Amino acid sequence: MKIIHYFNENNRVAKNVEKENGFLLTNLLGGYFWLAEKPTSRYQGWFFTPSWLAGNKIFRILENIEIEGSLAVNEIKNNFWQVERKRGEASETFFTPSFLNVLVYETTLASDIKLFFDAKESYNNQNSSFYEIFEQDGLVVIKCQTTDEAMPEFFVAIKANSTIYERPNQWIERNYSFDKNRNSAPFERSVYLALKFKNSQRLVLAVAQTKDQAIEQAQNATRHLGSLKKKARKEIKNLWPFLNRPNIKDPELKLAYLCAKNSLRSCLVFNEKKKIKGLYAGLPWFFQFWQRDTALCLTSLKALNKSTSQTIWQNLIRDIIRGEKNNSASDGWGWAIKRSDIFQEWHRKFLLTAIQEFEKSASQNLFWHGQRSTWMDTIDRYPATIELQALFLAACHTASKNFEFWRKKFFYDNLEDDSHILIKEKFWNGQALADGFNGQSADFTARPNAFLAYHSYPKLLTKLEWEKCFANLLPRLWLEWGGLATIDKYSPTFHNEHSGETPASYHQGDSWFFINNLAALVLAKANQKKFKPYIEQITKASMQDILWQGIVGHHSELSSARNLQAEGCLCQAWSSALFVELLQKLH
């Protein structure tokens, strides 16, 4: 299969790859469209979410669009705003306009186009949907009924350039190899072959909660398709602003940077009035707004859209004040407060109130948390972990610099100093930083969390101590293809292969791209010359994943330790965000 990434005439790269890849488009309303050459996952197809459910639920509409009798896919071209796919002499294009629940499908050759429906909430694996097909105002309309109380029915209106169609009324059995490979049952599912449009070249599909809304959207999108495409091309140009752009010479690296920015942008979710709702952690199945992931993405999001990122940060701080956590994330609070280093314009009162809420989990100059509440949420770690201690110190530092009342400034200044001394005493042995502390002893298991500690509070150690720490840590975690294992390679709990939905390998071997990119960023800050080989290999591996693996143009969640592979969630926001931040530092 040939993959092409095309930004403009001066910025395009192409490569033939052995593995079959797919593509993914979003509409900035929380909907997405993911296809491979053939259906391999129950998470593939066309999905949408109503605004009030964004971040909680998402609904599958179509399982697949298929040209009857078509050849295999031999090329995918990522144009950023749309995707082109070749099957022999025939070309298909897919387009999801921003801020519309619309899918546009076009082919260069008149074909018989089959639509396979599967109306359900994403996590609901029952086969219990019902369909009613009728015509209205020159469109074909399908009423889709689900078993979900939040969305018991929705409508899909289809405007085709051919008025001839069939209703096969067939249920087709699918076997999903992608899901089976990642141990994500069920692997089989029945989908509904509802329509076959004869001798057609374009379908405009719109989904809505009511029939009239769906019909109106499909008609308007068809009428204004040219201007919608022009607008989409213009939006993509903003990924490469004239000012403040990194000076990247390598063509592949430049396109990977643009893809990462576009992928991060694709995870943003707005309502119909273009007011920001949040940032998806990832697609296709992490369609939630997680504090930790969002906060770690904010530096790169600010480069994309300053006002949107500022609003997201303010919402995170308000959540802290309200005592809201999500995904049992103790560190999400800390990262949100840490992001005050890039958002200093907001009212101090709210930030300081959030710090005081965060401080409630501290005791005896250490920050304590519950089990499985750090980013390594599938394993039991000591109740005071190194990255949380660093975030606590960063919060104290922020408070001491922002409180106007001198007694409070003095209190947080002293708390920072006393905690710094204690944390260094308990966690640093002169050679390595402990991963955690339980009140009696420290856990010196090699994990990559020292990089997170540096990223949030570099004053924890001296420059030479950090260099020694990383020099001793890297050989225990380094994977020759250009990544870091999540536990010492020589540990008895180390897993060389990704275990899929069964989380045995998640934080005991699997290499996470966000932590790889963050580690390279930290190494560049600590001593770019000394750690240059590691930085270059991590950058190259991430570039390979973005351009030529998994979902083209998107950065995966993780890879097996054994070799570089696109695994886990194939479009992960913080993977892309940290890659963007890394390249902005290096270039």
Q: Which two tokens stand for residue 245?
A: 């752009």
Confidence grade of residue 164 (pLDDT, cut at 50, 70, 90): very high
Return left, alpha or beta for 323; rule: phi > 0 is left, psi -120 to 50 is alpha, else beta: left
Mean pLDDT of the chain: 95
CATH for 2-237, options being 1.10.510, 3.40.50, 3.30.110, 2.70.98:
2.70.98
Q: What is the mean pLDDT of residues 350-359?
A: 86
Share of the chain above pLDDT 90, in %: 86
Q: What is the pLDDT of residue 128?
A: 84
Q: Which residues are paired to 139 by β-bridges?
A: 136
**pLDDT over threshold 70, residue 326:** no
> Which string of b and e fits 347-380 if b means at least 16 CB within 10 Å?
eeeebbebbebbbebbeebbbbbeeebbbbbebe
* CB-based contact 567:555 (threshold 8 Å): no
Q: What is the mean pLDDT of residues 281-299?
A: 96
Q: What is the mean pLDDT of residues 335-359?
A: 84
Nearest 5°: the CA angle 413, 416, 422 is: 140
DSSP character string of 151-218: -SEEEEEEEES---EE---EEEEEE-HHHHHTT-S--EEEEEEEEEEEEEEEEEEEEESSHHHHHHHH
Beta strand 32-35 pairing with 170-175: unpaired
**pLDDT over threshold 90, residue 310:** yes
Distance in angstroms (rounded) separating the CA atoms of residues 268 and 264: 7
Distance in angstroms (rounded) separating the CA atoms of residues 145 and 132: 9
- At 263, is the secondary structure helix, strand, or coil? helix
Distance in angstroms (rounded) separating the CA atoms of residues 329 and 315: 16
Q: What is the pLDDT of residue 127?
A: 84
**pLDDT over threshold 60, residue 39:** yes
| Residues in contact with 154: Cβ distance below 8 Å, sequence separation at least 6, in sequence order | 48, 59, 61, 119, 144, 146, 207, 208, 209, 214
**pLDDT over threshold 90, residue 352:** no
Q: What is the pLDDT of residue 323?
A: 77
* CB-based contact 23:553 (threshold 8 Å): yes
Distance in angstroms (rounded) separating the CA atoms of residues 320 and 357: 7
* CB-based contact 161:202 (threshold 8 Å): yes
Distance in angstroms (rounded) separating the CA atoms of residues 158 and 46: 14
**pLDDT over threshold 80, residue 44:** yes
Q: Which two tokens stand for residue 385?
A: 């972990």
* CB-based contact 572:566 (threshold 8 Å): no
Q: What is the pLDDT of residue 319?
A: 85
- Residue type at position 243: L
Distance in angstroms (rounded) separating the CA atoms of residues 386 and 331: 11
Which residue from 474, 478, 483, 494 is spatially nearest to 549, judged by alpha carbons? 483
Q: What is the pLDDT of residue 349?
A: 80
**pLDDT over threshold 80, residue 516:** yes
**pLDDT over threshold 80, residue 172:** yes
**pLDDT over threshold 80, residue 300:** yes
Confidence grade of residue 345 (pLDDT, cut at 50, 70, 90): low
Q: What is the pLDDT of residue 244?
A: 56
Q: What is the pLDDT of residue 242?
A: 57
Q: Which two tokens stand for residue 123?
A: 């996590």
Q: What is the mean pLDDT of residues 394-407?
A: 87
Over residues 202-255, the pLDDT tens digits come to 999 999 999 999 999 999 999 999 999 999 999 998 888 755 578 899 999 999
Quote the distance between the C-alpha of residue 465 and its chain's center.
Answer: 33
Q: What is the pLDDT of residue 478?
A: 98
User: In the CATH scheme, what architecture does the domain 251-586 have?
Assistant: Alpha/alpha barrel (1.50)
Over residues 540-575, the pLDDT tens digits come to 999 999 999 999 999 999 999 999 999 999 999 999
Phi, psi of 239 (to 5 degrees): -70, -20
Distance in angstroms (rounded) separating the CA atoms of residues 242 and 459: 35
Q: What is the pLDDT of residue 479?
A: 98
Q: Which residues are paired to 171 by β-bridges?
A: 192
Quote the distance between the C-alpha of residue 113 and its chain's center.
Answer: 31
Q: What is the pLDDT of residue 406?
A: 78
Question: Which residue matches tokens 């990522």?
Answer: 78
Where do the structural domains in the chain lie, given as residue ranges?
Answer: 2-237, 251-586
Q: What is the mean pLDDT of residues 464-484?
A: 98
Q: What is the mean pLDDT of residues 11-40?
A: 96
Confidence grade of residue 327 (pLDDT, cut at 50, 70, 90): low
* CB-based contact 3:13 (threshold 8 Å): no
Question: Model-level pTM?
Answer: 0.97
Share of the chain above pLDDT 70, in %: 98
* CB-based contact 474:431 (threshold 8 Å): no
| Element holding 60 (H helix, E strand) | strand 59-67
Cα atoms found within 13 Å of the Cα of residue 523, Cβ hemisphere only: 24
Q: What is the pLDDT of residue 328?
A: 53
- Beta strands (DSSP E) in 308-458 are 362-363, 366-367, 384-385, 436-437, 442-443
* CB-based contact 210:198 (threshold 8 Å): no
- Beta strands (DSSP E) in 209-281 are 268-270, 276-279
| Residues in contact with 114: Cβ distance below 8 Å, sequence separation at least 6, in sequence order | 64, 65, 66, 67, 68, 168, 193, 195, 196
Q: What is the pLDDT of residue 325?
A: 65
Which residue from 31, 68, 83, 78 is spatially nearest to 207, judged by alpha carbons? 31
Q: Is 490 exposed, middle or buried (0-12, 13-18, 19+ CB in 10 A)?
A: exposed
